[in-house]
Homo-oligomer: A and B are copies of this chain.
Amino acid sequence: MRVLSALIASSTSTGRHLFSAHTFKSRASSLAQIFTSRQSPFMASEDSLRQALASKLAEIEAQGNNVRALKASGAAKPDIDAAIEALNGLKLERGSIEKDLQAAVSSSGDGSVNRELFRQTVVNTLERRLFYIPSFKIYRGVAGLYDYGPPGCAVKANVLAFWRQHFVLEENMLEVDCPCVTPEIVLKASGHVDKFTDLMVKDEKTGTCYRADHLIKDFCKEKLEKDLSITAEKAAEFRHVLAVLDDLSPEEMGAKIKEYGILAPDTKNPLSDPYPFNLMFQTSIGPSGLSPGYMRPETAQGIFVNFKDLYYYNGSKLPFAAAQIGQAFRNEISPRQGLLRVREFTLAEIEHFVDPEDKSHPKFSEVANLEFLMFPREEQMSGQSAKRIPLGEAVAKGIVNNQTLGYFIGRVYLFLTRLGINSDRLRFRQHLANEMAHYAADCWDAEIECSYGWIECVGIADRSAYDLRAHSEKSGVALVAAEKFSEPREVEKLVIAPVKKELGLAFKGSQKNVVEALEAMNEKEALELKANLEAKGEVEFFVCTLGKNVSIKKSMVTISKEKKKEHQRVFTPSVIEPSFGIGRIIYCLYEHSYYMRPSKAGDEQLNVFRFPSLVAPIKCTVFPLVQNEQYEKVAKDISRSLTASGISHKIDITGTSIGRRYARTDELGVPFAITVDSTSSVTIRERDSKDQIRVNVEEAASVVKEVTDGLRTWADVWSTFPHHSSGSAEDDE
């Protein structure tokens, strides 16, 4: 998400993050930290078992020597036999420790085998029912590119429509739609051209490319999980490397690859030193070949460059928010993690511009009472786990920096849970100090737990004035706001006036450097200089652009404080940015919605997605119970009514058994099924309870509409209409 550019920028201050784009995306570093702390009980038993194993091996070696010595010295056979028996006993004990250690290692792997099995089941269902299709499959596909098939496409459209309703419409945001093709200068200003990179190594013979951190990570995990012979110290080292991986410089990564003897996984050839690879897809705008461009790596820059127009459009008033939904592109070195790490994806981003001196939010009280899993910085550092905190308390205690940030955290929580994300597997994790940009006031990620672990799906950052300032500087266009005072205010301003004639005489060609250095003083420095000049008449003054001290006399500069009347305050607004990875949210939603239940006959497991109506790809199916003209006519009439009410549905007039037809639509997450079993009334079945009611033909469409639009609950409908016995012959599930 957008955190990346927060962190891109942070790199300018920290230096070490500079060339590591993955830091900005996967949060792997902090996850590893959490992993390390959360797993500490496992680690403890694992470590003691490794120590036990090592000492047992030492005992075995000693006893082996003992046996050989006895034999060599021609000792008595009973003595030798006894010594051999003792050796075998020790070997048995070693076997037992190894078994325990293997178990400890596997369990610290966090049930990854089960998780992978679960994921395979879900992904198989998703691909079989065309929620997803690997893109360009008939041409053997392209890693990291996926199509949304019909149900996936409908889910995505529903999620985006709800996003527009929940954020854009509800908050009167200004939505914009900017091109994906972006000229270089824009992404130069944002920092992406120089810093949006991952470290890559190449197979020195074949040229195949790998992500350097992936190879080191794979090596360490393999060692930790499969090599029982490593010492507790070595195990601790590997865990440490995993935790700090994202903070390693290219040189440090290169050194680790050499130290561990890591080779190209496919060929076992040696690898090149790590070097940065820019993750943007590059292209050329126009025919000349002289205008480089990139496919945007995020949508936010399109909003920032339009700030001036949008501010004016909003009546030159703050706060206001702009929003954008659109494609973003990242040319991943070697995409893994299936649907979570792709080369093209849909982002939905909000830039909420506020006065940095007032970050209160008028609607904060509407979310203050929400309570959900939060994982503040302090809890992460001290090895605790996420805990439920009322949002109002989190803001009041300063855990969350300000009301506006808190308001968006609350709105994101409502958005995700209304889509169907399980609130027990959703947490808001605060960025650690070293993850955050130097200018950022605060930053929280909405992380959703799925089979890949806790995945960042929404980033909510207070990015201060960084982005607008960067584009102001590069473009020369002031991206600022003004607060007009109701009456002029008197302000005291420091005035530094170098006397150029005197300075020119004294410093000749260096005059400009001295003038600039004098003017660049802050208030404290200037007042100090003033006092010293008044006391001594002449002072040594350091000019950094000359790299030396010069001698400044009292006559060369006047420093004073003057009172001025000001009619307005001009400032660069802060921006609070919630940024949504739509594809990731949808994928997590699939995992959270999926379950299996036995068929009626009990002979097979059936797949179900428990989507809320809001996101279900199709709201309703219409089935004539048997193939018959009258029933088909009724089904088509109901279908027409549903179309007229804008309810997406599917009519299935195949002769397949009704149970099979229900199973098919459960697998698409269709919440309701209308079955035509007479010409006057029909049944409506709810997906998860499998309960059925009976309604008149004329009412069927409107009942479904009311329930899918959320105007009535199923419970309400269930208590209103006569029930249809689900045990009847036709429901042969």
Contacts and interface: CB of A to CB of B under 8 A. Distances in A.
B282 A284 contact: yes
Contact of A142 (B183, B310, B646): B183
Contacts of A285: 142, 281, 331, 343
Interface stretch (A43-51, A150-158, A563-571): A150-158
B286 A181 contact: no
Given A169-B643, A654-B315, A179 B283 contact: no
Interface string A273-297: 0000100011111111001010100
A302 interface: yes
A136 interface: yes
A706 interface: no
Contacts of A293: 142, 281
A684 interface: no
Interface in A133-147: 133, 135-139, 142-143, 145-147
A123 to B, nearest CB: 15
Contacts of A182: 136
Given A175-B150, A287-B200, A139 B185 contact: yes
Contacts of A327: 180, 327
A315 B343 CA distance: 32
Interface in A432-479: 471, 474-475, 477, 479
Interface residues of A, number: 82
B313 A147 contact: no
Contacts of A532: none
A136 B286 contact: no
B180 A306 contact: no
A149 interface: yes
B344 A181 contact: yes
Contact of A181 (B309, B329, B333, B475): B329
Interface string A332-344: 1110000000011
A305 interface: yes
Contacts of A157: 164, 175
Contact of A130 (B208, B282, B309): B309
A650 interface: yes
Contact of A209 (B286, B315, B654): B286
Contacts of A138: 305, 308, 471, 475, 477, 479
B137 A305 contact: yes
A674 interface: no
A133 B309 contact: yes
A170 interface: yes
Of A170, A283, A315, most buried by chain B (CB within 10 Å of CB) is A283
A182 B281 CA distance: 12
A640 to B, nearest CB: 10
A306 B149 contact: yes
A66 interface: no
B646 A147 contact: no
A401 interface: no
A149 B176 contact: yes
B150 A176 contact: yes
A648 interface: yes
Interface in A408-442: none
A306 B344 contact: no
Contacts of A654: 315
B284 A181 contact: no
Interface string A182-211: 110110000000000000100000011100
Nearest to A150: B174
Given A139-B185, A154-B175, A281-B283, A130 B315 contact: no
Contacts of A333: 286-287
A618 to B, nearest CB: 10
Contacts of A329: 180-181
A505 to B, nearest CB: 43
Nearest to A165: B646
A178 interface: yes
Interface string A629-670: 000000000000001001010100010000000000000000
Of A181, A315, A344, most buried by chain B (CB within 10 Å of CB) is A181
Contact of A643 (B170, B185, B209): B170
A399 to B, nearest CB: 30
Contact of A180 (B130, B170, B288, B344): B344
A156 B133 contact: no
A13 interface: no
A587 interface: no
A523 interface: no
A540 interface: no
A88 interface: no
A185 B309 CA distance: 42
A288 B133 contact: no
A142 B277 CA distance: 27
Given A147-B176, A170-B643, 9 more contacts: A130-B309, A133-B176, A146-B179, A150-B175, A169-B646, A180-B180, A209-B287, A295-B295, A327-B327
10 contacts: A137-B305, A142-B183, A142-B293, A145-B181, A147-B306, A148-B177, A180-B327, A181-B343, A209-B287, A286-B333
